[in-house]
Amino acid sequence: MNIILASASPRRKEILENVNVKFTVVASNIDEVILDNEPPKELVMRLAFEKCMDVARKNEDALVIGADTIVVMDDQILGKPKNEEDAYNMIELLSNKKHQVITGISLINLSLDKKVIDYVVSEVTFKDLSKETIRDYINTKESLDKAGAYGIQGYGSLLVESISGDYFNIVGLPISRISDLLKEHFNVNLFYGG
C-alpha cells in the first residue's frame, strides 16, 4: 500500500524517514481556518482530517497521513507568528511557564473506507528567558514558520527547561502513536518499513 504524507513540513518528513517508511509527500491545499470557540483538540483533529481528506480524494488507494500541530497557553491557541514582533510576544508569553503542544493526526484510506482521527498532547516548560535571550532566538529566524514561534528540534531547544510526553509530537508528528494506529487499523507495521 502506498503511503502519502499530506504535509510539506520538512520536520514531519524527516521523522517518517527516520523509521525507514517508504512514502511520498503531497501537500494539501486547505485553508487552515480556526473556528470561533473551537476547542484546541477539536481544531487540530479537524485540520489534520481536512488535510488528509484533501489528499486522499486524489489518491484513493493510498494510505494518507495528515497532521496539524498547535501550541496552547492558558486555552489560547498560538499558531505561526505573523512577524518577528508577534514571535517575540509569543516567546515572552511562554517564558517561565508550562504550555501544551497538541498534534491532531488523521489516517485515511478511501479504498478501504477507513478513517482514523486522534490527537497527542505533550507539555513543555520554558526557562525564565531574558529579553536578550528572546531577541537572540528571534534573530535566528527559526520561529517564523512554527506554531508557538519556536522549534524544539533547533535553537528552540535552548529555551526549554523540561518536557513531559512525546518529543516527536512537539516536533510535529507523534510517530509512536501513529505507529500504533497504523498497526491497529491498517495492519501496517513500521518496523518493516510500512
In the chain, domain spans: 3-192
In this structure, the number of other CB atoms found within 10 A of the CB of residue 39 comes to 13
b/e map 97-128, b = 16+ CB within 10 Å: eebbbbbbbbbbbbeeeebbbbbbbbebebee
pLDDT value, residue 194: 67
pLDDT value, residue 134: 98
The pLDDT of residue 153 is above 80: yes
* Grid coordinates belonging to 53: 481528506
Chain center to CA of 131: 27
Which whole number is the average pLDDT over 30-50? 92
Beta bridge partners of 98: 125
Amino acid at 110: L
Pick the CATH number of 3-192 from 3.40.50.620, 3.30.420.40, 3.90.950.10, 1.10.3720.10: 3.90.950.10
Q: Report pLDDT digits (tens) over 76-86.
A: 999 889 999 99
Which whole number is the average pLDDT over 24-38? 90
Among 102, 112, 32, 17, smallest CA distance to 64 is for 112
Q: Report pLDDT digits (tens) over 53-102.
A: 999 999 999 999 999 999 999 989 998 899 999 999 999 999 999 999 99
pLDDT value, residue 31: 87
Residue 192 three-state SS: helix
pLDDT value, residue 1: 83
Q: Report pLDDT digits (tens) over 162-172.
A: 999 999 999 99
* Active-site residue set: 68
pTM of the model: 0.94
pLDDT value, residue 119: 98
